[in-house]
Amino acid sequence: MMERIGLVWNWLSEATSKLSSGWRSWSQTRFVQSFLESWIWGFMALVRPVPTLQKAAEEKPVLSALWLTILQGFSLAIGTKYAADNAGFVASWLIKNLPSWWLVVLYAFIFPPVLWFVKASVLNLVAELLGGPPRGLSLLATTAVACSPLLLILPAALIAVAIAEPDLNTGFVSHLWFVFAIGVHAWWVVLTVVAIRETYRFTIAQAFLTILLPALIGLPMAYIIYSVLSVVA
């Protein structure tokens, strides 16, 4: 009997040792470390935005930035959909009108990373046209870090819905949620301007112009495409 107990104990000890060793090895991989670092980048961007964006521009943590973009996308999509389902104001018409939650999750996993890459590519092109150096990887990192305020949307939506009476369409909480929804997007835009400034050593005016020019060109083009598609349809 004691011999069997000893064999079982030795087997459990070896299994535990292998499991612990495997966990240590896995936790030290770049894949896991970058995921953990993404939370640090996001938190530091909220409390010390300018130094954090400066550091991101120099270190170019692109893999951590990708994780951060995915996390922000989930917070934005799920938080926005949850608030919209409870009659709250939301800034995204697309997320609000997604018909099912699995489409919300699919949107969160695919759309933000694609938009992040396209946005950084366009802004880098405009920045170079304005005289900035080619720093595409730096801009990829800083624009992802600049979106860190979006991490707050999901927890804020959960708290707001929990204390709203009866929903986010009425009462004092609805006004607070409206201010938050507008403010968090404004915060995101401001940090993006700072990210461009720190990446290219621009002035604030140059950084703002880098964002403004694609909008001035893109909005009329989007309207024309929409009008053409409406006629064809």
pTM: 0.82
Residue whose pair of structure tokens reads 């707050």 in the numeric block: 152
Kindly state whether residue 16 falls inside one of the protein's structural domains: no
Band (pLDDT 50/70/90 cuts) for residue 164 is confident
Count CA within 13 A, CB hemisphere, residue 1: 0
Q: Which tens digits make up the pLDDT trace of 72-96?
A: 999 999 999 999 999 888 888 888 8
Residue 199 neighbours by CB under 8 Å, 6+ apart: 57, 127, 132, 135, 138, 139, 142
Indicate if the pLDDT at residue 23 is higher than 70: no
Kindly state whether residue 18 falls inside one of the protein's structural domains: no
Q: Which tens digits make up the pLDDT trace of 168-221?
A: 888 888 899 999 999 999 999 999 999 999 999 999 999 999 999 988 887 777
Kindly state whether residue 20 falls inside one of the protein's structural domains: no
- Looking at residue 45, its pLDDT comes to 96
Q: How far is residue 144 from each of residues 42, 54, 64, 132, measured CA to CA in Å?
A: 9, 13, 9, 19
Kindly state whether residue 9 falls inside one of the protein's structural domains: no
Kindly state whether residue 83 falls inside one of the protein's structural domains: yes
Kindly state whether residue 21 falls inside one of the protein's structural domains: no
Count CA within 13 A, CB hemisphere, residue 3: 0
Kindly state whether residue 11 falls inside one of the protein's structural domains: no
Kindly state whether residue 7 falls inside one of the protein's structural domains: no
Domain that holds residue 203: 32-232
Residue 136 near residue 121 (C-beta atoms within 8 A):
yes
Number of domains forming the structure of the chain: 1
Exposed e or buried b for every residue in 36-62, given b needs 16+ CB within 10 A? Answer: ebbeebbebbeeebeebbbbbbeebbe
Q: What percent of the chain has pLDDT over 90?
A: 63
